[in-house]
Amino acid sequence: MPRGTQMINGVEYVFETKAKWNPDKKYGTHSRRYIGKMVDGVFVPNKRYELEEELKEAKKPGHVPVTISERLFCGATMLLDSIGEKLGIREDLEKCFPQDYKKILSLAYFLLLEDHSPLSRFPRWAMLHRHPYGKIISSPRSSELFASLDEDSQQRFFHLQMQRRMEHEYLAYDITSISSYSELIRFVKYGKNKEHDALPQINLALLYGESSRLPMYYHSLPGNISDVTTVKRLIDELGYLSIEKVKLILDRGFYSEENVNGLLSHHYKFLISVKTSLRLVQTMLDEVRESLPTRQYYNSNFRLYCTSRTIAWPYEERKARLGEVESGTRRMYLHLYYDDERAMEERTAFNILLDSLEAELKEGIRNPEHETLYQKYYEVTQTAVRGVTLNPKQEAIDKVERNYGYFGLLSNDSKDPLEALRIYRTKDLVEKAIANLKERLSARREGVSSESHLSGKLFVQFIALIYLSYIDKLMHDQDLYKSYTLTQLLDELDVIECYTYPGHTEKIGEMTKKQKQLYEVFGVPLPA
């Protein structure tokens, strides 16, 4: 049908006209209906028109021949198609979201390929690229999609993905804060922001595979909840997902006796960092403090000293139904390490802190947040003649300094201290994944206004993160970072074009030697 546009209150609306013949009155008439609007030169259909077009597509039987000529960029999206097949992402999404999986994939592709671009730019990108959905998704439609991605289906997707990959690997667990402009969302609260952002926030907990180096699972938490209290919910949710043989990596912010007992009661394996101030660590540390920094305990590969002890953990579990308390002991491995460089860094940082405390006290500009530290490390006297006099509490200072360079890991699984340390250090991958989620995938500040929109958008961003993490892993494994940044690699492939002509099959444009090599590295079948 013929189309036209009309400006109404500064908005360019698109309409279709339909000619009708009136046989009684012997003249023709025209009817007009509005089907969308133009945004930045791109046609954005309204919901009714979009649904009509989807129904038309659904009714077409079998293979639909090409009726129009098209020229689209497809190189980067072909890579993502291949990754989605390898990891089962497309298959699992189709099982969980049969009506919307193509939209989810297309939006995830856009977030990954168009670094830092807002979703309002998706229509323009979609017109130039081949992607799973094959059509544009306007901002209102993307919001509706986010709201429709229900929690049960998301959880099913996590279960399917975790079943594919996690049986033989540890899962690193960490939490980050994501700021939000909306205070209407229940979980958005003012809390201890890890990036000192003044906005209210939600906390996002993420599980990341130690060997696959892929994100496995996430959930959102109220912004004012502390890290240590989240472990119980994690344990519960892994139970809901029917995930067995769980192995977790946790930093010391998650340590508590209750959390350790909770992990033991579910028969989960774990590796957790522990503070040297803990009684059980201090007891062992006092035994080995003099001997540990000696040649026999040194490892040249890790450039530190290490030793281990088998300990009997005092286990306690309260039976929910009967209220009875089961107690006993469980075998655990406590690994202790001493790092010369770490000791020097910690001592330097501590002296810088003491310098700043002394300056504040002498100048009379006391920081209320430092009052506890003033009292802990100094005796302060003041007279009219001498002014402020500081006497360091050397015993308190020595007590802190004596543990510099030492750190500990606790596990019910890993017996070897070096293997335990190797596994624990993969936790850095979670921090990198969180950085990618926030920066490249635009999750640092979420501008949605409702919980359902936030949940759905985070899920799509998580899907994009799986693809990004896989590409990053392969680039590291194949030493591609010597030649490309991640953006450069995607840009190198993105310029490959595909052509469609009426009555002909799709053709892929010419590829350079570099592009073919990249496809071979990623296992993407080269087009004929």
The contacts of residue 374 (CB under 8 Å, 6+ apart) are 357, 361, 366, 380
Residue 231 has pLDDT above 80, yes or no: yes
Which residue's entry shows tokens 């009817």?
31
- Tell me the mean pLDDT in the region 4-19: 77
Strand partners, 36: 14, 45
Residue 405 identity (one-letter amino acid): G
The contacts of residue 257 (CB under 8 Å, 6+ apart) are none
pLDDT value at residue 384:
75
At residue 131, what are phi and psi to the nearest 5 degrees? -150, 165
- How far apart, in whole angstroms, are the C-alpha atoms of residue 206 and residue 172? 8
- Tell me the mean pLDDT in the region 510-525: 93
Among residues of the chain, what percentage have pLDDT more than 70?
Answer: 83
pLDDT value at residue 181:
46
Report residue 236's pLDDT band, with 50, 70 and 90 as the boundaries.
Answer: confident
What angle is formed at CA 208 by the lines to CA 115 and CA 271, rounded to 5 degrees? 150
Nearest to 420 by CA among 302, 331, 295: 302
- How far apart, in whole angstroms, are the C-alpha atoms of residue 94 and residue 105? 10
- 211 vs 407 pLDDT, higher one: 407
> What DSSP character marks residue 77?
H
pLDDT value at residue 281:
92
- Tell me whether residue 373 is exposed, middle or buried, using C-beta atoms within 10 angstroms of its C-beta: 0 to 12, 13 to 18, 19 or more: middle
> How many H-runs (helices) and E-runs (strands) does the chain carry?
18, 19
pLDDT value at residue 87:
95
Among residues of the chain, what percentage have pLDDT more than 90?
Answer: 48
Length of the chain: 528
Domain boundaries, the chain: 1-64, 342-401
Token pair, residue 522, equals 């990623």
- Tell me the mean pLDDT in the region 357-384: 90
Three-class secondary structure of residue 444 per DSSP: coil
Which pTM was predicted?
A: 0.79
Token pair, residue 19, equals 């000619």
Do 170 and 423 form a contact (C-beta atoms < 8 A)?
A: yes
> What is the DSSP annotation of 370-438?
GHHHHHHHEEEEEETTTEEEEEE-HHHHHHHHTTTTEEEEEESS---HHHHHHHHHTTHHHHHHHHHHH
List of E strands, 246-338: 247-250, 269-274, 298-299, 304-318, 325-338
Report residue 322's pLDDT band, with 50, 70 and 90 as the boundaries.
Answer: low
Mean pLDDT of the chain: 84
Where would I find the H helices in 100-229? Answer: 101-113, 122-128, 139-148, 151-165
pLDDT in tens, 450-468: 566 888 988 999 999 999 9
Report residue 414's pLDDT band, with 50, 70 and 90 as the boundaries.
Answer: very high
Do 490 and 115 form a contact (C-beta atoms < 8 A)?
A: no
Three-class secondary structure of residue 508 per DSSP: strand
- 52 vs 246 pLDDT, higher one: 246
Three-class secondary structure of residue 101 per DSSP: helix
pLDDT value at residue 371:
93
Token pair, residue 333, equals 């491995």
pLDDT value at residue 64:
47
pLDDT in tens, 263-277: 998 889 999 999 998
Do 44 and 13 form a contact (C-beta atoms < 8 A)?
A: no
Residue 331 has pLDDT above 60, yes or no: yes
For 158-170, b/e burial (b = at least 16 CB within 10 A) is bbbbbebbbeebb
For 80-113, b/e burial (b = at least 16 CB within 10 A) is bbebbeebebbebbeebbeebbbbbbbbbbbbbb
pLDDT value at residue 448:
47
- How far apart, in whole angstroms, are the C-alpha atoms of residue 323 and residue 360? 53
- 506 vs 187 pLDDT, higher one: 506
Do 125 and 116 form a contact (C-beta atoms < 8 A)?
A: no
pLDDT-wise least confident of 14-23, 59-68, 176-185, 215-224: 59-68
Strand pairing class (304-318; 325-338): antiparallel
Residue 57 has pLDDT above 60, yes or no: no
Residue 365 has pLDDT above 60, yes or no: yes
